[in-house]
Amino acid sequence: MAWWLRKAGIEGETRVQFRPVPPAMTEAASLRGHTLDVLGLGVRYGAFTALDNVGLSVRAGEVLALLGPSGCGKTTLLRTVAGFVRQTAGRVLIDGAGIDDLPPNRRRVGIVFQNYALFPHMTVAENVAYGLKARREAAPRIAARVAELLEMVQLGALRDRRPAQLSGGQQQRVALARALAIEPSILLLDEPFAALDRSLRLDMQIEIKRLQRQLGLTAILVTHDQDEAMSVADRIAVMRRGRIEQLGAPVEVYDQPATLFVAGFIGTTNRLPCTVDGMARLRLADGTPLPVPAGALPPGPALLTVRPEQLELRDEAGPGCFPVELGLALPLGGQTVREARLADGTPIRLTEPRLGAIRDLGARAFCGLAPGARPALFPRPTPEEE
Amino acid sequence: MSPTLSRRALLAGTAALAAPLAARAQKPGSVTAAIYPGAWEEAFRDLVAPALKKSYNIELEMQALFAVDQVAKFAASRGAPPFDCFVLDPGPRATALERGMFEKFDASKLASRAAIPAALVDEWGIGCNAQVVGIAYNPKKLPKPKGYADLFKEPWVSRLGLTGFGTTFGTVSLIEIAKIFGGSETNIDPALAELKKVLPKIAAVSSPAALPGLFQQGQCDVTYTNTQTVTTLKDRGVDIEFAVPETGATTFLTTLHIAKGCENMDAAYKYIDTAVSKGVQDALQKPPYNFIPVNKEVALGKDLPMRSLDEMSKFVTHDWSKINPLRGQWIDRFNREMAK
Amino acid sequence: MSSAAALPAPRARGAAAPALSPWGLAAPLGLAYAAFFAAPLFMLFAVSFYADEQMTRFGLDQWRRFLFDSFHWKVIADTLLLGLKAVAATVLLGFPLALVYRAASPRWQRVLLFVVIMPLLTSVVVRTFAWIVILGREGVVNQLVLGLGLAAEPLRLLQTELGLVISLTQIEMPLLLLPLLSVMSRIDPNLMDASASLGASPWRTLFRVILPLAAPGLAAGCLLVFASATTAFISQSVIGGGRLVYLPSMIWQQAMIAAHWPFAATAAIALLVSVSAVIAVIAYAGRVAGGRVHG
């Protein structure tokens, strides 16, 4: 009877834990081990280029996040993979075979939509059974499979409800069960957590991640939320203006941003204007030399992007240190985020350990790179390039 | 409660709903006339009203009412007539006369009296428009038919357009057809029997309002109708001619009457006098109205089948007091016989 | 429900505020309705119970005359059938058009909407006579058919039920499309994508997703088309002609020409009852389909 009680608890938007995936499903070969390759994909709408020569490979059992601001092409890429948008160039391969000429209903690509797109005139069970009926499965098999999936997402008790009678989280679970019912080779998640409130979002992220692992699903997650991409994805493709700016593991994208845009879009970044001199040394605007290798850049104006945690405050001047005027301190959990200003007025943020000495607002101090910090260095863009 | 009383109450209620603003101001120097909606209303507003104002300084107020509505509205008014003058076709005229809705009419009070043929005036009213009914055909497609009997033969029958008892001209034409086949003013069965025989060949069985359009579009090329329709279509460039049947053209009058209980007799006579005066009748004969004038001083249009109004006394006329009680049945019979 | 339950509370507190009950607000409309709809309707019923044309005594004569005559039943059946045919034709042509509208860009949607509404901007009389020009023996359709050599003789379209249904389809189309388009454009486009991604063919998506969700709008449109087509007196008499007898023209003849008001009233009530009965069935069907969505 325990599962009954647990199901009763689902009624409110409380902590959700999916049931362990039944062994039959984890062993289902159809869900495991599919790859997706996108080769030189382009989508143009008249003069507007939505996707420009995009190439990426999603490995079997991997979650790849497409991250970027709205209008960057991530949703277009998703819809092209699903078959809703026809590309003007390039190919999409699943398990090495081209699917470009298949209509959406023959691609076996499962989608969870941002608004879930549940069929409002059908019950939860009918929603989940929809894809199975479309595939003309036998009725007993459909019933068994629907029961299995609803059990997995902990919605067995709500099987006869209509979507309008469900909470957001419950609707998302129905959407997930419905997408998984057709045993998709690729699962596409289009901003699936955007409509959930913050605490529930984290729960669902963890549960989906766990489910994906257990089932060995290959998935693409479209999001504009970098935290979500960081926590759920194995790799992140940062997109901008129809192109992929950087594709790599979350840590790699965070620590070694390939472009100034990636550096700015992922996490918090200080942008310090500086100059590379003729001897490949880096100097801050006020002339302070910084111990950062600058050999890769030609002499001229440059921009150093430094994460707040890559900076530290000191009381006395030293090599590589520059004077700052301290601003507000915001205690955030284990750390304090401190605002400060360089001598020329450039605002920066840095983190201080809370245990350290308490400095006053408006006090003067010195700032330098933390030991081991490897900030990224870029040529300073002209205003047009920004 | 006696049934008669409640019937009055019902009619009063109906009329009140039909025209919530019926309460009319009884101004001296004004006359209220019922008038058919549409072309008649336009013609009287454009021609009669200004003439009445100019000659006698009397304002003409019009109530647009079909004949049936005039009779019903008067019946509901119980002695306080909702308008001073009726305009009626022979059928409703006979009904209204039976029910005592008219004041006696004294034609000698009209300035135009001498110009109106005696046949057009009686002790209850005066004709303000004549209709002459015969056969209309397309001379480019069909030879001229000699009479109604030809309409049942080729080449005419397969191009024939019919209308039922819905209009006065339709009713009198069907009576004339019945007479050919042994019927009479009160027996139209032979006409329906003959029509039924040729029904599959007939080009169109139409509502009267649609018939001119059907003729213009070539859906039918021969029909019975009045001269007014022929002249109007001819003006639009339609190939159409009027033929007087060998049994004679049929004629009937649209008449003006003074409503019983009218308190404005003088203005009412002046209105009627203006409506039949030479100037107004002359204008009414012209397009777009194409009325047949009732005033002898008006020169008749060249398309009319007579050269003077006096010739009309030879045309066929009918007794509507006999037709009226049968007309409802006839309409019903026509529906049944013609229905697919 | 909760908002209705909360209503009395502020009223109890704010005694100074004038009590504007919903009944009070609805009173002007209600009175107008009583005066201009309920009262005439009552009188119509009353008139139908006069025994004779002169309306001098009461009796069931007119009802007997109407009901015990198979011709009148045939006229009722023809009238209702005409309505159903018009509904079928408007749905067959209008529903695909609604699908096109749904898929069109906003600019094309505006163009389509204008085209859809345009018939409403011209009078019924003009529209009806325009159809004479189109369907006539020497009309546009026949010129095309004869010109292409599809037939040796001009087709007979005017004065036939087919021609009447064709013209009613155009004339009544806006009544179907306006409610249908408003419901259709509210359907989440993601639902069609979801359906396709789950393996459903476009046809399955149409019948299992779009059609059930459009059902309330479709039912409302069918209802309007049916009510309008069965009572389209002008089109019926002008396009249909004298050989197609429907109740409205029968009522008109009896009331306006024969001046037989009791019989006309009887026929009018027969029209009211029979059309309402079919409308009730359509509305019920729409509620069953729509109830699945909103219940």
A45 to chain C, any CB pair closer than 8 A? The answer is no
Spell out which residues of chain C touch residue A104, defining contact as CB-CB under 8 Å. 193, 196-197
Average pLDDT, chain B: 88
Phi, psi of C169, deg, nearest 5: -60, -45
Residue to mutate among C107, C191, C197, with most A CBs inside 10 A, is C197
C159 to chain B, any CB pair closer than 8 A? The answer is yes
Structure tokens at B54: 């100019």
Same-domain status, A96 and A174: yes
| pLDDT for C19 | 58
Residues A223/A239, Cβ–Cβ less than 8 Å:
no
Give the type of residue at C51: A
Higher-confidence residue: C198 or C16?
A: C198
Strands A186-190 and A218-223: parallel
Find residue A239's DSSP bridge partners: A244
Residue contact C257–B213, C-beta within 8 A: no
Of C185, C292, C293, C200, nearest to A111 by C-alpha is C200
Mean pLDDT, residues C25-54 taken together: 90
Which among B10, B165, B206 has CB closest to C47?
A: B10
Residue C256 has pLDDT above 70, yes or no: yes
Residues 6+ apart with CB under 8 A from A19: A3, A151, A152, A153, A154
d(CA A186, CA A378) in angstroms, rounded, equals 37
Domain membership of residue C157 (yes or no) is: yes
Q: Point out the domain boundary residue: A187, A222, A255.
A: A255
| pLDDT for B339 | 86
Of A213, A251, A257, A245, nearest to A63 by C-alpha is A213
Give the type of residue at A135: R
Structure tokens at A24: 């039959």
Radius of gyration of chain A measured on its C-alpha atoms: 25
Domain membership of residue C199 (yes or no) is: yes
A163 to chain C, any CB pair closer than 8 A? The answer is no
| pLDDT for A90 | 93
Question: How does DSSP classify residue A133?
Answer: H
d(CA B208, CA B131) in angstroms, rounded, equals 15
Same-domain status, B59 and B166: no
Same-domain status, A19 and A67: yes
Higher-confidence residue: C47 or C16?
A: C47
Mean pLDDT, residues B37-63 taken together: 92
| pLDDT for A4 | 20
Question: How does DSSP classify residue A348?
Answer: E
Of A285, A290, A287, A281, nearest to A319 by C-alpha is A290
Same-domain status, A298 and A233: no
Taking each helix axis from N to C terminus, what angle separates B320-338 and B168-180, rounded to the nearest 10 degrees? 80
| Chain A contacts in chain C segment 3-42 (CB below 8 A) | none
Same-domain status, A306 and A206: no
Same-domain status, A332 and A211: no
Same-domain status, A278 and A250: no
A179 to chain C, any CB pair closer than 8 A? The answer is yes
Same-domain status, A245 and A370: no
Q: Is residue C294 very low, low, confident or very high in pLDDT (cuts 50, 70, 90)? A: very low
Higher-confidence residue: B74 or B340?
A: B74
pTM of the model: 0.81
Residue contact C242–B207, C-beta within 8 A: yes
| pLDDT for A15 | 55
Domain membership of residue A340 (yes or no) is: yes
CATH code of the domain containing C74? 1.10.3720.10
Residue contact C198–A103, C-beta within 8 A: no
Cα angle: B291, vertex B296, B301; to 5 degrees:
45
CATH code of the domain containing B157? 3.40.190.10
Q: Do chains A and B touch (3 or more CB pairs under 8 A)?
A: no
Same-domain status, B241 and B126: no
How many domains, in total, are found in chain B?
2
Residues B105/B128, Cβ–Cβ less than 8 Å:
no
Higher-confidence residue: B128 or B313?
A: B128
Spell out which residues of chain C touch residue A195, defining contact as CB-CB under 8 Å. none
Residue contact B219–C137, C-beta within 8 A: yes
CATH code of the domain containing A345? 2.40.50.140
Higher-confidence residue: C14 or C172?
A: C172
Residue contact A105–C188, C-beta within 8 A: no
Mean pLDDT, residues B33-58 taken together: 92
Which among C190, C202, C295 has CB closest to A117?
A: C190
Touching subunits for chain A (3+ Cβ pairs under 8 A): C
- Of the spans A257-271, B23-37, C58-72, which averages the highest pLDDT? C58-72
Residue B92 has pLDDT above 80, yes or no: yes
d(CA B268, CA B258) in angstroms, rounded, equals 7
Residue B296 has pLDDT above 70, yes or no: yes
- Of A97-101, A192-196, B157-161, least confident by mean pLDDT is A192-196
Which among A117, A135, A181 has CB closest to C194?
A: A117
Of B257, B208, B280, B297, nearest to B67 by C-alpha is B257
Residues B101/B71, Cβ–Cβ less than 8 Å:
yes
Which among C242, C253, C256 has CB closest to B162?
A: C242
pLDDT for C203-214, tens place per residue?
999 999 999 999
Question: Is there a cis peptide before residue B155, judged by omega within 30 degrees of 0?
Answer: yes
Same-domain status, B24 and B94: yes
Q: Is residue C125 very low, low, confident or very high in pLDDT (cuts 50, 70, 90)? A: confident
Higher-confidence residue: A174 or A32?
A: A174
Of B217, B204, B207, B140, nearest to C136 by C-alpha is B217
Domain membership of residue A263 (yes or no) is: no
B340 min Cα distance to partner chain C (Å): 6
How many domains, in total, are found in chain A?
2
- The domain of C81 spans 59-294
- The domain of B143 spans 133-250+321-338
pLDDT for A145-200, tens place per residue?
999 999 988 888 999 999 999 998 899 999 999 999 999 999 999 998 888 888 88
For B197-263, give the DSSP string.
Answer: HHGGG-SEE--TTTHHHHHHTTS-SEEEEEHHHHHHHHHTT---EEE--TT--EEEEEEEEEBTT-S
C217 min Cα distance to partner chain B (Å): 35
Strand ranges across the sheet with A63-67: A109-112, A186-190, A218-223, A63-67, A235-240, A243-248
Residue B117 has pLDDT above 80, yes or no: yes
| pLDDT for B303 | 80
| pLDDT for C11 | 42
- The domain of A292 spans 268-379
Residue B24 has pLDDT above 70, yes or no: no
Spell out which residues of chain A touch residue C287, defining contact as CB-CB under 8 Å. none
For residues B279, B281, B282 and B285, what is the CA-based torsion angle, rounded to 10 degrees? 160
CATH code of the domain containing A189? 3.40.50.300
How many domains, in total, are found in chain C?
1
